[in-house]
């Protein structure tokens, strides 16, 4: 079944990437001097999910500061230029054009969000600049594999398959509903949900969407409740997950809810003020808490908090890890760093982090990490991991 899902994801990726997917990628090396490697990033600093977008920039900075304090990469210091795309595809294109054409960055690392990342991919591919580890599950960023782009998060379809498999086995639902964001992420989530539900012979009795940035979900949740849904699949993001949970609580609706990795975050739990209690989600990076984290993770949390004045989230861990992958590959590529050399080095990394993530590797046939995720639930205001890593 996993092979069938990945095949469907590859087909979706080909369609989403359009003509670009069929082109050969000729990489260009720029942004490297005798003393510096220039890295570009666009994220949401002022839009609907700016709270998490800022964490992307900050975690990247933290890793870069650590690398530079240790002497850099083969004597070169890393410098990051971050642009605000405000979770908007048009602004992401403009941001990528500035970073690639004016700033001459060596690579675009950790672009944030499905729509913005897919939009900026047209710029990096045209110019032959590597686009690495976008923080989204959009399959077109790494499937089919091309030398100019690698993914960080696994496909949205994968997370929803794991979610539906868990729900079908443990909850035994009869009537399934879904609420999803009306963009690339939401559509991918729905594709994965429908595929998984069909395998389990479960009926999707109601599916409703909302526009990115929406704050009122009363009509959607009321419609789902009226459909007598006993399992609600969440294709929601941060504030939206909290908003749906609060609306469910307001209606006194006791329905199980489960979503993919955008639901698995501390921001939604904090915003929901208790309404996320009992919600399930599938994660890729474990969320830790300062008082219960392993010593190495606790020290990392304390360092992050001292630097930025707040606790990190799973997104912080993702961005920090992505910069670690880049650094490991750049080190392996040697002093004569080139875009082609970096890609070849990415195939050699075997990265293990302090956060308990399974070993990360890439191959010419797989430009995303190995497909593994786990199910977690909010209990007493905290995410608790319920399962081992699942494939």
pLDDT tens string 364-379: 999 999 999 999 999 9
Q: What's the pLDDT band for 110 if we cut at 50, 70, 90?
A: very high
Is 50 exceeded by the pLDDT of residue 1? no
Residue 15, pLDDT score: 36
Q: Which residues of 333-369 are buried (b: 16+ CB within 10 A; e: fewer)?
A: beeebebbbbbebbeebebebbbebeebebeeebbbb
Q: What percent of the chain has pLDDT over 70?
A: 94
Residue 8, pLDDT score: 39
User: Which is higher by pLDDT, 20 or 157?
Assistant: 157
Instruction: Give 16-154+297-346's CATH code, choosing from 3.40.50.2300, 1.10.3720.10, 3.30.70.100, 3.40.190.10.
Output: 3.40.50.2300
Q: What's the pLDDT band for 221 if we cut at 50, 70, 90?
A: very high
Q: Around 334, how many Cα atoms within 13 Å sit in the side-chain half-sphere?
A: 5
CA distance 347 to 58: 27
- Highest CATH level, class, for 157-283+374-385: alpha beta
Mean pLDDT estimate for the chain: 92
Q: Where in the chain is the domain with CATH 3.40.50.2300?
A: 16-154+297-346, 157-283+374-385
Name the least confident of 20-24, 94-98, 280-284, 331-335: 20-24
Is 70 exceeded by the pLDDT of residue 2? no
Contact by Cβ (8 Å): 82, 104? no
Name the least confident of 18-27, 171-180, 325-334: 18-27
- DSSP secondary structure letter of residue 390: B
Q: What's the pLDDT band for 25 if we cut at 50, 70, 90?
A: low
Name the least confident of 12-21, 144-153, 338-347: 12-21
Residue 332, pLDDT score: 98
- Chain centroid offset of residue 226 CA: 32
Q: How far apart are the first and last CA of the chain?
A: 10
Q: What's the pLDDT band for 12 if we cut at 50, 70, 90?
A: very low
Mean pLDDT value across residues 104-113: 97
- DSSP secondary structure letter of residue 201: T
Mean pLDDT value across residues 310-320: 91
Q: Taking Cα atoms as reference points, which of 346, 357, 350, 10 lies closest to residue 149?
A: 346
CA distance 128 to 27: 4
Q: State which of 85-99, 182-196, 261-275 shows the largest mean pLDDT.
A: 85-99
Q: Around 332, how many Cα atoms within 13 Å sit in the side-chain half-sphere?
A: 18
Query: What would the pLDDT profile of 46-96 be if each residue is shown by its tens digit?
Result: 998 898 899 999 999 999 999 999 999 999 999 999 999 999 999 999 999
Residue 311, pLDDT score: 87
């Amino acid at each position: 079944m996993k092979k069938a899902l990945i095949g469907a994801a590859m087909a979706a990726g080909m369609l989403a990437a359009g003509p670009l997917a069929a082109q050969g990628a000729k990489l260009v090396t720029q942004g490297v001097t005798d003393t510096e490697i220039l890295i570009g990033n666009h994220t949401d600093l002022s839009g609907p999910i700016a709270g998490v977008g800022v964490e992307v920039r900050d975690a990247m900075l933290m890793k870069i500061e650590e690398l530079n304090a240790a002497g850099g990469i083969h004597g070169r210091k890393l410098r990051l230029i971050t642009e605000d795309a405000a979770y908007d595809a048009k602004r992401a294109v403009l941001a990528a054009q500035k970073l690639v054409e004016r700033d001459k960055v060596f690579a675009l690392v950790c672009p944030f969000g499905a729509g913005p990342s897919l939009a900026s991919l047209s710029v990096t591919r045209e110019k032959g600049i590597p686009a690495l580890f976008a923080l989204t599950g959009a399959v077109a960023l790494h499937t089919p594999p091309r030398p100019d782009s690698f993914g960080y998060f696994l496909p949205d379809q994968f997370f929803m398959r794991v979610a539906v498999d868990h729900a079908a086995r443990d909850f035994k639902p009869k009537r399934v509903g879904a609420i999803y964001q009306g963009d690339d992420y939401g559509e991918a989530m729905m594709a994965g949900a429908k595929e998984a539900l069909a395998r389990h012979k479960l009926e999707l009795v109601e599916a409703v969407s909302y526009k990115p940035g929406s704050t009122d979900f009363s009509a959607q949740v009321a419609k789902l409740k009226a459909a007598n849904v006993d399992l609600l699949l969440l294709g929601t993001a941060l504030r939206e997950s909290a908003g749906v949970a609060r609306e469910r609580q307001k209606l006194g609706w006791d329905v199980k809810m489960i979503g993919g990795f955008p639901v698995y975050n501390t921001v939604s739990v904090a915003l929901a003020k208790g309404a996320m209690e009992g919600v399930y989600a599938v994660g890729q990076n474990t969320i830790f808490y300062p008082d219960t984290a392993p010593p190495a993770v606790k020290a990392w949390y304390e360092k992050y908090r001292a630097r930025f004045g707040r606790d990190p989230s799973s997104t912080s861990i993702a961005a920090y890890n992505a910069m670690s992958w880049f650094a490991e590959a750049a080190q392996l590529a040697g002093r004569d760093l080139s875009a082609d050399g970096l890609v070849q080095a990415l195939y050699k990394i075997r990265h293990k982090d302090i956060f308990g993530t399974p070993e990360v590797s890439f191959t010419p046939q797989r430009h995303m990490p190995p497909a593994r995720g786990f199910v977690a639930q909010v209990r007493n205001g905290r995410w608790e991991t319920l399962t081992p890593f699942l494939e």
